[in-house]
Amino acid sequence: MARRRTGPTDTVRDLVFQRDGGCCVRCGSLHRLTIHHRVNRGMGGAREVWINQAHNLLLACEVCNGWFEDNPKPSYEAGWKVRRPQLPDKVEVRYADGRVYRLTPDGVRTAVVGAAR
Ligand SMILES: [Zn+2]
C-alpha cells in the first residue's frame, strides 16, 4: 500500500486556506502558498495528532516559509513558530492585518482583543 502520509489531510489544508483568507499570514501574498507547521514535525513525522491539525498550521508563501526558518526569533515572537513544549493552541499568532489571533484545532481563528506586541 501507499507509504504513510505525514502531512495534513486535504480537508485540513482547505480549512487552513479558508481560515487564513487565502493569503500568506506574514506578507499577505496570494501566490506560491504553502502550509507551514508552527511546531516542526519531529524526526519520523507526526507522532502527535495536533501536528497536522489546523491550529498548528499556517498559510504562508514560499518566501515567508523560508524566512521563518532563517529568522526564528521574530517568528517565535509573532507565533509563526512555536517552540516545544509549548502547544500551538496556547500561542497567539500575528497575521498580515496586524491583528493577533488565537487558533483552534477545528480551524477557527478568534481575534485577541487588546493584544499588542
Ligand atoms: Zn509571505
Kindly report, residue by residue over 41-92, the tens digit of the pLDDT. 876 666 788 999 999 999 999 999 999 999 999 999 999 999 999 999 999 9
Mean pLDDT of 9-34: 98
pLDDT at residue 117 tops 60: no
The predicted pLDDT at position 5 comes to 63
> If you measure from the C-alpha of residue 13 to the centroid of ligand 1, how many angstroms do you get, rounded to a whole number?
17
> If you measure from the C-alpha of residue 32 to the centroid of ligand 1, how many angstroms do you get, rounded to a whole number?
9
Q: Which three cell numbers stand for residue 51?
A: 501536528
Sheet holding 100-103, edge to edge: 93-94, 100-103, 109-111
Domain range summary for the chain, segments of one domain joined by +: 10-111
Per the listing, cell 478568534 goes with 110
> If you measure from the C-alpha of residue 66 to the centroid of ligand 1, how many angstroms do you get, rounded to a whole number?
9
pLDDT at residue 16 tops 60: yes
Higher-confidence residue of 2 and 22: namely 22
| Spatial separation of the C-alpha atoms in residues 86 and 74, rounded to whole Å | 16
Mean pLDDT of 107-112: 96
Phi and psi based region of residue 58 (left: phi greater than 0; alpha: psi -120 to 50; beta: remaining): beta
What's the whole-model pTM score?
0.90
Question: How many CB atoms are closer than 10 A to CB 82?
Answer: 21
> If you measure from the C-alpha of residue 108 to the centroid of ligand 1, how many angstroms do you get, rounded to a whole number?
21
> If you measure from the C-alpha of residue 11 to the centroid of ligand 1, how many angstroms do you get, rounded to a whole number?
22
Average pLDDT, the chain: 91
Buried b / exposed e along 18-34 (16+ C-beta atoms within 10 A): ebbeebbbbeebeeebe
